[in-house]
Amino acid sequence: MLMSLFVTALAKDEAEFDMDAPPPSAAAEPAAAADMDEGRDMDEGQGELLPSQISAVIKKGSWTVQDCVTRYGGSAVQGRMVVSWEITSSGAVANAKTAESNLRNPMLEDCVVAGVKRLKFPAPSGGTVLTSHPFVFN
C-alpha cells in the first residue's frame, strides 16, 4: 500500500501539498473520480504500468512542484488541481494538461504541467498509458 507523501514547506512562505491526494468523492464529481482511478493509476490506453511505478516517478519529481509553489504563490497557494497526461511507449510524457483546477493561478498551473512534462517513466508494456494525478495544496 502506498503511503501519502506530504512535502512540508522548507520556509514560511512555501505551501504544503499532498502528492498522493485522493480524488474527490464520487458524490462531488462522479465522472472525475471514476476516471482518475484513485489519482495514481492508469486510466486507459493500451499499455500497462503499475500504479506504484507511476507514483514513484511523481514522488521523485515532487521537487518541481514545490519549486512552482515557491515561485508562484508560496503559502498563499491553496486548492487542488488535476493534471492528466499520456505516458508514451518510451516512458516520455505527452499531452500533459490541467484537467481541473480551483487554484485560480494560471502561472502555477502552467508550471506544474511543465514539471510533469519533464518526468520520465518506465516504458509501459504494450503501448501508451493515459493517467491523471491530483495535486492538493494546503
The pLDDT of residue 39 is 39
Does residue 128 belong to any structural domain of this protein? yes
Residue 18 lies inside a defined structural domain of this protein: no
Q: Domain residues for 115?
A: 38-137
The CATH number of whichever domain residue 88 belongs to comes to 3.30.2420
Evaluate whether residue 130 is within a structural domain: yes
Query: Which has the closest alpha carbon to 22: 11, 8, 10, 36?
Result: 36
**30 in a domain, yes or no?**
no
Instruction: Answer whether residue 123 is part of any domain.
Output: yes
pLDDT given for residue 44 in this prediction:
58
Count of domains for the chain = 1
Query: For residue 28, what pLDDT is reported?
Result: 30
pLDDT confidence of residue 6: 28
Query: Residues 82, 64, 56, 120: is their CA dihedral positive or negative?
Result: positive
Divide the 138 residues of the chain into consecutive groups of 10 and give the mean pLDDT of each group: 26 42 34 32 72 96 95 93 97 98 96 97 95 95
For residue 46, the model assigns a pLDDT of 85
Q: What's the predicted TM-score (pTM) here?
A: 0.69
Output the furthest CA–CA distance in the chain (Å, rounded): 45
d(CA 86, CA 64): 19
Residue at 2 is within a domain: no
- Per-residue pLDDT at 18: 53
Question: Is 101 a member of any domain?
Answer: yes
